[in-house]
Structure 1
Amino acid sequence: MAENMKFDLVSPERSLVSGEASAVQIPGTDGDLTVMYGHAPVITTLRPGILRVEGPKGEEDYLVSGGFAEINGDGLTVLAERAVRRDEMHQELFNDWVAEARDAKAKADEFKNEPGPVDDAAKLLSDMVALGTHIGLDPNQTNLGG
């Protein structure tokens, strides 16, 4: 049986999880990865996606809009820009996340001769739309409510 590791998921608004996990799948910007006890130390950035925690209570899914993950041999800390439990996400909240990504893209478009910021903002928006589609929410809906 695999050893559990310490796992923390925090956002600026709150601490969502602090406890034990046997495995955590994270949506890294360079690709998804699964972290287990003894994983090599890594710091990576996150893209919008589903973070899946396997622990004593079974599997739990969280949605993150981006952030950072710090992996050490016996634990994982995720500092998310925004994060909610999967069952707490609803159309109105998702609309806010997409609007924020669209605003970032609009601001980045001012840097037409600097493709880095424009490409990053376009990728953020694309990932956000894909996340919503994956969980059954419509990125084009407005004011559907919760």
Structure 2
Amino acid sequence: MGWIFALNAECGRAEGDARALARHFHDWSSDVVLIAEDWWCGVVPAGLSRSGVRSAADAAAMTSAGIQLYERLRSAPPVYRYALVGVETDEFRHYDELTAQDEDVTVFPGLVISDDIWTAVGKPPVFGAFAPGYRWLPYVGEGV
């Protein structure tokens, strides 16, 4: 099994929203999948390790790609509910899990959430502005 580095964004119940997000990343490899009842868009940069972060060079390459993914996400259409860049971020949480009262969303550096989710989880002050309609925990990069 590979350890894939990617941006994964949950787009709710509308397949068209996930496809619109994939089109926004048209020059990157992307995939749209239905998981349970929700559509996800995954964007995978080329040329990165498929074994996770195993060296400082892997960490640097993935961090650089992560920064680029977040920069592109800032200008994406507002069709996703939440997104995260990292190794094996696909389906890291279902919407109901993410918004559960006992879920600590502050443990996911780089997590981008809609303003609606930010409000639902109690407006944690550690989330800053990301793009119109979204907040995030700043991305800290990948470590070895």
Normalising by the residue count of structure 1, what TM-score does the alignment of the two structures yield? 0.29
- Max radius of gyration: which structure? 1
What's the TM-score once normalised by structure 2's chain length? 0.29
Structure holding more strand per residue: 1
